[in-house]
Amino acid sequence: MSDLSTLLPTYLPPPCHLPLLSLIETASLTCADLLTLSSPEISRRLSSLRSPAPPLLDIKRFLAGLTAAFAADTLCESAAKLKERETRLTTGDVAIDRMLGGGVRAGGITELVGESGAGKTQFLLTLALTSQLPRSLGGLGRRAVYISTEAPLSTPRLVQLAGALNSRLAPDPPVSTDNVLAITCNDLETQEHILRFQLPVAVARHDVGLVIVDSIAANFRAELDRPAVNKRVKMSSQQQQSGPAQLARRGGELVAVAQGLRELARRHNLVVVVANQVSDRFSRGGDQQDGDGDGDDEDVYSLDFQSRWFTGWNEAVEPQGAKVPALGMVWANRLAARFVLRKADEDRGLRRRIGVVFAGWAKGGEEMEFEIWEGGVRAVKEKEEEEEQEQDAGPNNP
């Protein structure tokens, strides 16, 4: 018996092809046979049923209609999967969401990179609560897992954010700190065990929609970037090597971590957000221009020149404060999006800024100022517009 009715239960050929469909069912030709065999070969198999073989033209027309039906069914299924994967999580601020292309997208790894005090943890704490919001308010309607590698979760700040969010949006049910599953891991061995074994179980058991790692680089930099003996196990002399061997080992572990998080995000339609650290960037003297401004000595194929498009810092614009994200290109190539948070010069009256380094759903290079307040994070632009509107309305209200 053919599997056509199973794979395409809604397919109904024209009335003139119903006898041909009956012969196909009798000959037990599968959909794979119909899509791979030639028309003469199908006609030969049907002629062995002690009945006149259908004309080749009818077979060709039937196969054309069947191929079109399969293409339409596959297209609809792919569109439904893409629509499901386009699930986005709000940051709690309309202007920031708009710049980020609607929020943080599910199905991949999103990175927040910035120096200490730039506001990464504030963003992550806010996301841990907005994930509980219903989809009508930009949330996921699911719990969050918060994995901390540097310091325990700030519970007082989380309670403050939850109260402000409930007061401002009045969601039903209200967001709660009870729906944030937190765990702290202070070494690389614990982190690996949690991400590989405990996290998949927690996601499936507790209806988790958001996974946060704050930060992904802390344990890697503490244990693998140093040539000292790793405290997890007694290492051999070969394992204690620095230089290329150490970089290769770290790269292998980074790939394994990223692959596990990406697979988990795709399988469960999760939003995965990780914080990353930065370090100061030092330019090599030979890479600098001669100062004549023609730029002829600048190698466009060099890593230093191209890094401005994936690190978030343009050394040509800010040579004194340029940073480079930790974990290198091995990690950056596994990310779906990278958003940079900058700590501006407070002496000059500038505020924190958030920008899009790269993302498949947002325009790279976009930036805006933001501030941290009782309710989380918000764009400064909206607040300034409100103040201008109040000032404009002042003379009309004596």
* Burial degree of 158 (CB within 10 A; 0-12, 13-18, 19+): buried
Q: Over the range 31-42, which residues count as b (16 or more CB within 10 Å of their CB) and which as e?
A: bebbeeeebeeb
The contacts of residue 39 (CB under 8 Å, 6+ apart) are: 56, 59, 60, 63
Q: What is the pLDDT of residue 237?
A: 47
DSSP result, 290-321: -SSS--TT--TTSHHHHGGGTSS--TTT-TTS
C-alpha distance across the termini of the chain, in Å: 86
Contact criterion met (CB below 8 Å) for 112 and 273: yes
Q: Of all helices (H) and strands (E), which one includes residue 271? A: strand 271-276
Tell whether the model's pLDDT for residue 204 goes beyond 90: yes
Across 61-89, average pLDDT: 72
For residue 317, give Cα distances in angstroms to 32, 228, 308.
59, 37, 10
Tell whether the model's pLDDT for residue 391 goes beyond 80: no
Tell whether the model's pLDDT for residue 138 goes beyond 80: yes
Q: What is the pLDDT of residue 338?
A: 95
- Angstrom distance (rounded) from CA 269 to CA 131: 13
Q: Tell me: the pLDDT tens digits for 301-347?
A: 776 677 777 787 765 555 556 788 988 888 999 999 999 998 876 55
The full set of domain ranges for the chain reads 4-83, 89-277+326-388
Q: Tell me: the pLDDT tens digits for 97-130?
A: 999 999 999 999 999 999 888 999 999 999 999 9
Across 226-239, average pLDDT: 47
Q: What is the pLDDT of residue 239?
A: 45
Residue with the larger pLDDT of the pair 348 and 198: 198
**Minimum mean pLDDT among 58-67, 123-132, 198-207, 348-357: which range?**
348-357
Q: What is the pLDDT of residue 330?
A: 87
Name the pLDDT band for 13 (thresholds 50, 70, 90).
confident
Q: What is the pLDDT of residue 242?
A: 56
Tell whether the model's pLDDT for residue 395 goes beyond 70: no
Q: What is the pLDDT of residue 247?
A: 72
Name the range with the highest mean pLDDT among 45-49, 79-83, 94-98, 229-233.
94-98
Tell whether the model's pLDDT for residue 40 goes beyond 90: no
89-277+326-388: CATH class: alpha beta
Backbone dihedral angles phi then psi of residue 212, each to the nearest 5 degrees: -120, 135
Please name which of 180, 204, 209, 184 lies closest in space to residue 194, comparing C-alpha atoms: 184
